[in-house]
Structure 1
Amino acid sequence: MQTAKNAAASVKETVANIGASAKSGMEKTKATLQEKGERMTAHDPTQKEMATEKKEARLNEAEYAKQVAREQNATQRQATEATGGTHSYSTTGATGNPMGGHQMSSLPGHGTGEPAGQVVEGVVKSHPIGTDTGTGTTVAGHNLRTGGGAGGYRTGGAYR
């Protein structure tokens, strides 16, 4: 059983590393294409040199991000192997996997170790507004006082 869990952790690490490499490759390709475009529109050698330097910086950044992701993936695998892949209980009572190398707070740097995934300073991920209750109706449809009227009396559903 333990061998299967270690194998699964190894496969997960490999898949995550492939994803990190693919993302890095895409970033490098975008940097190269952007540099070519900037060099084509540049009129003096200084602008062309700046485009090349910018591309090199983006290539280095993409490679660094890939290496950080690989290290995090290895840390996660080692944590899974060390704990035997057993589950833990959250504060809500739901079962799940141990946090291992994953960040436990939405604040960069908080939790256990470094944040899992890419963190861009000053950028907050968006979340959908509202929730789907699954009833197929809006909350206003259930509010008997919606629609105005005097003294809190309901209007019978029609606005007058």
Structure 2
Amino acid sequence: MQSGRNAAASVKESAANMAASAKSGMEKTKATLQEKGEKMTAHDPVETEMAREKKEERKHEAEYEKQAAKEHNAAQRAAAGTTGTGTTYSTTTTTGHHTGTGGI
């Protein structure tokens, strides 16, 4: 049963990582589009350079948030695997006989 929980945690982590990557990609695309709009309305090279720097800053921020989310997801998975919940120990042998002392 523990391996089932590990597999579920792995799937959950992968899905969360994919969502973080998708969100990061969208933020980067938005930054690029915003830069293009600002470049079109820029009246001098300084405004164009400011638009480029702003885009780069937003892209770096999106990448940072993605990496932070992946680290958080990995920590969540590790915490789920080390809590000890779900660990069971058999009290019967392979033939179904009780191994404890209880007069059975």
Q: TM-score, normalised by structure 1?
A: 0.53
Q: Within 5 Å, give how 1:60-79 maps onto structure 2.
A: 60-79=60-79
* Alignment-derived partner of residue 2 in structure 2: 2
Q: Within 5 Å, give how 1:1-160 maps onto structure 2.
A: 1-86=1-86
Q: Is the 8 A contact 1:39 1:47 kept in 2?
A: yes
Identity of aligned residues (%): 70
CA deviation profile, 1:42-69 (whole Å, cap 9, x unmatched):
0100000000000000000000000000
Instruction: Give how far 1:83 is off.
Output: 1.3
Q: 1:85 to 1:38 in 2, by over 3 A?
A: farther
* Alignment-derived partner of residue 101 in structure 2: none
Q: 1:53 to 1:16 in 2, by over 3 A?
A: same
Higher helix share: 2
Q: Is the 8 A contact 1:5 1:84 kept in 2?
A: no
2:83 and 2:12 mapped to 1: Cα distance?
16
Q: TM-score, normalised by structure 2?
A: 0.80
* Alignment-derived partner of residue 147 in structure 1: none
- Structure 1 unaligned spans of 5+: 87-160
Instruction: Give how far 1:84 is off.
Output: 4.0
* Alignment-derived partner of residue 156 in structure 1: none
- Structure 2 unaligned spans of 5+: 87-104
Task: Supply the RMSD in Å over aligned alpha carbons.
Answer: 0.9
Q: 1:85 to 1:70 in 2, by over 3 A?
A: farther
* Shift >2 Å, 4+ stretches: none
- SS across alignment from 1:18: helix
